[in-house]
Amino acid sequence: MQSFRRLNTIAGWATFAVALLTYSLTVERTASFWDCGEFIACAYKLQVPHPPGAPFFLLIGRIFSLLAGGDVTQVAFWINMVSVLASAFTILFLCWTISMLAQKLIGKPESEYNTADSLLVVGSAVVGALVYTFSDTFWFSAVEAEVYGMSSFFTAIVVWAAFRWERIQDEAAANRWLIFIAYLIGLSIGVHLLNLVTLPALALIYYFKKTARPTFKGGAIAFIIGFAVLGVINAGIIPGLPSAAFVLEKFFVNTLGMPFSTGMTVFAVLFFAALIYALFWSNKNGRVYINTALLGLAFVLVGYISYIQVLVRSDFNPPINENDPSDALNFISYLKREQYGSRSLTYGPVFTSRPVDQKPGDPLFKKEGNKYVEYGNSPKYVYEPGDEMLFPRVYSSQQNHPQLYRQMLGLAEGQKPTFGDNLEFFFNYQLGHMYWRYLMWNFSGRESDQEGAGYLLPWSTDEGAPELLKTNKARDNFYMLPFLLGLFGIVFQYYRNRRDFLIVGLLFLFTGIALQVFLNSPPSEPRERDYIYVASYYFFAIWVGLGVMALAEGLRQYLKSDMTRNGAIVGLSLLVPVMMGAKSWDNHDRSNRYHSVDFAKNLLNSCAPNAILFTGGDNDTFPLWYAQEVEGFRRDVRVCNLSLLGTEWYIQQMKRKTYESEALPISLEFDQFNKGENDVIPFYEMSAVKDGIDLKQYINLVKQGSQAVRVPLTTGEMTSILPSSVLFLPIDKAAVDKANFVPSLLRPLVGDTLQWTIGKRDLYKPDLIMLDIIATNNWQRPIYFSSTLASDNYLNLKDHMQVEGYAYRLMPVRVDGASDGFVNTDIAANNLMKRSFWREMNNPNTYYDETYKGSPVLTARIAFFRLADQLIREGKKAEAKKVLDYSLSVIPDSTIPFDQISSNFVQLYFNVGDTKKALEIADTMVTRIDQNLTYNKTSGRQFGDVRSDLYSLNSIVEACKEAKQDALAQKYEALLEKHYSAYGG
């Protein structure tokens, strides 16, 4: 017995060491794209990230950041190490969990184990743990500062503790484990809520241990109780306690005239006093179950108290303070994630449904004077009968979602989806594309890192595949070996121990398919979402480990020697994770990747001092926050995220000074941009101002709530409108001359008025605030728009914008024909050639996935293209060639393959006289395009983008024609016609 336990302990720590070494060697040294920049910045200074926050994760990250020793460039690395360490511990507890479950399947008590038995149990645990170590999704989350590594750790230790509790016979000691589990669950709330979905399955563990003869009815009741506990924590404790406290808060403030926060304080005192009294009472009266439950609740709350950090830090109003949860109102909204809206899960509208009426929903409150004042209600929309359905999956009418639904389901324009269409989308897309595909990525193999890539099967070959697909570092075929082991484990556990099979199966389903049902994925996402289901892969890895035992049992009649059989099976099975690690290393090694931060610095350095920079999504903004907040880079630039500029709390934050950046020039007051106010400003043309309206006057009328720009809605409420599609802004020439930013060549074009057609379109709150900033700024501060924004975000002002690198600067001049802005070659060349950062971008051994190949690289190549093109137009061909050569040296094809933008370099190189380089790029791109298009047509699979490839090929043909490369032009044109006709052109 002792030898087994020693071996089991050593094996667990050995898998921990393998995982720790793997993740430490491959961890990102700086802030990754997506949420990592935000989390690192918030952990470093204990700020407030997007709801519902991760306060415990931030507290641990803050502690780890101190290991940087004052070197701000090392802060990101050490906070990333939080995920590394948490993930390594996840592997440790996975190994021990598989070991406990395997022992139940071996059929004899631990005291009777021989060496072969110990080898099989421990070997199975090690194989399962190492397969999960090298699985695609978990490895990805383990090497960056995201919450999923630590969330996985809490899931692992809670499940391990539950199975450990099951083995304890002493009642008093067992209850301590239950309280320990409750405390862990409470702490996990401060990381991610995913851990809560394990509760129904954990309730079954409790039931099976406490019941001598379990029944289906008893199991169902236990499961329902587990669900109820989940509901109590998720709805009753997390947002429920603050919501209940607000009821008392409103009474104390509005009725009794007490100061703000009095009711919240009284509620906290009364609640904890009642809990303490109940604990003493249950203990005194010997109510063991009640006392244990109350202690569990108390320890859940002890963990949940990490959210005090959110309240405390938000009250100091740090630079990153999302939702400003410093008071009861905003804190409740923060915990409920109201910023993201809601999705109907059981019954609701579909994408073709249109509301026919609106009813008042929950009341909205605000602080006014020394009271809470109700100022409106959240809307509840009413739909025509038949416009709603059960289990609505095709619900989203946002962005291009209706068009995508129609494409996926083959629906004609105007045709309503049926319930059958609804289920088809659920099974094919939500379960197939958004879950099954991800599961197979991890346990069968991944086709590539291209978004939407499929999985590989054992018979998937490289025959006929394009060279870029063959050499894609993320193309890893595991020949379904981990998946097959998992299937063997499922069958083996089902026949040997159905109780544990039910528990692990429920854990697998609840963290996977059930989670997908709850999330109700729309038809497109900003990125692949496999990381959401990482816990589901964790439980499948348990079955992978048990699959080793299944193989050994299956060979029992062929190999009679237990030691030989078990040793051979464990040894061969260990080759599976070894293969996974070897194949996956190159596409998980981030140790030399820095461009997420360098991209942010390049964007900031495209701006003049004291600038206002409008940005869009997460990857446009979070790396910039990291650069400014952690490394202190270009804090004079105020980053203004348009995705957040529709919220009242963010506008308020923009109206105050931060670091070297003064408050933004926003004239509108809180009541004009509060929640529910001016969210949408419909276009409603008025004949009196049909030819144009003064922008300053218009903003002032909105500010005053003037009836001149307001009309009644069908509900009777008044709303602001946009009365003209033409806006004009008087230009203060004295202010422009004083700022001295208009090039001498353009000064004669500065007129008395900036007039433009914004279009017959509705305005949204971010548009209104941007217009307010433009009108109020009076050319005192430089205003920039990131080149990564969607076209609507430029307010149709691009012909008044100057390109200075990665950003467009708003100018008081209009250049004819400059529909995409006009390039200032002096400023752009200085910013791109002398003030930009390109660490490891020319290292072919550094792995760059689709995130980098997308916006960051496209932005850089477009900037270089625009600069070189303008230099050629100005007759500066030698300088243009330097720009082109420099762009290829910092972002070479060997690291980031040529893309659609690169096809334009062919013509530019012809124009500057470097025919050799032009032909090299053309030949490389045409060869790849031919391979891609041929493969897509013959295989029925998708690699690359057909439209982009056809566009690039056409660009190269036209460039060759213009350069009089007639033979080559004819050859490429024939290829173009062949593929164009093949794709129905």
DSSP calls for 30-88: S--TTTHHHHHHHHHHT-B-STT--HHHHHHHHHHHGGGTT-GGGHHHHHHHHHHHHHH
The answer, yes or no, to whether residue 592 has pLDDT greater than 90, is yes
Rounded Cα distance between 450 and 527, Å, is 10
108 sits in the region (left: phi over 0; alpha: psi -120 to 50; else beta) called beta
C-alpha 495/C-alpha 101 separation (Å) is 13
Task: Please confirm whether the linkage preceding 897 is cis (ω < 30° from 0).
Answer: no
pLDDT of residue 1: 61
The residue assigned the tokens 């999330």 is 519
pLDDT of 329 above 90: no
Residue 711: pLDDT band (50, 70, 90) is confident
CA distance 650 to 658: 13
**Dist CA 34 CA 12 (whole Å):** 33
Helices 75-106 and 55-65 cross at an angle (nearest 10°) of 120
> What pTM does this model have?
0.94
Nearest C-alpha neighbor of 593 from the set 615, 618, 623, 617: 623
Q: What is the pLDDT of residue 362?
A: 82
pLDDT at 631: 97
The model's pLDDT over 127-178, given as tens digits with 9 standing for 90+, comes to 999 999 999 999 999 999 999 999 999 999 999 999 999 988 887 788 889 9
Task: Kindly tell me if the per-residue pLDDT of 9 is higher than 90.
Answer: yes
Q: Which of 862, 912, 903, 845 is nearest to 885 (CA)?
A: 912
Average pLDDT of the segment spanning 394-414:
90
Q: How far is CA 419 from the centre of its chain?
A: 30
Which is higher by pLDDT, 638 or 384? 638
Q: Is 886 helix (H, G, I), strand (E, B) or coil?
A: helix
- Find, among 631, 607, 594, 614, the residue nearest to 830 by Cα: 607
Q: CB atoms < 10 A from the CB of 620, how many?
A: 24
pLDDT value at residue 715:
59
More confident residue, 913 or 709: 913
Instruction: Answer whether residue 985 shows pLDDT above 80.
Output: no
* Model pLDDT, residue 60: 97
Give the DSSP letter string of 100-116.
HHHHHHH-S-GGG--HH
Q: Average pLDDT over the chain, rounded to whole?
A: 92
Q: Is 710 a residue whose pLDDT tops 70?
A: yes
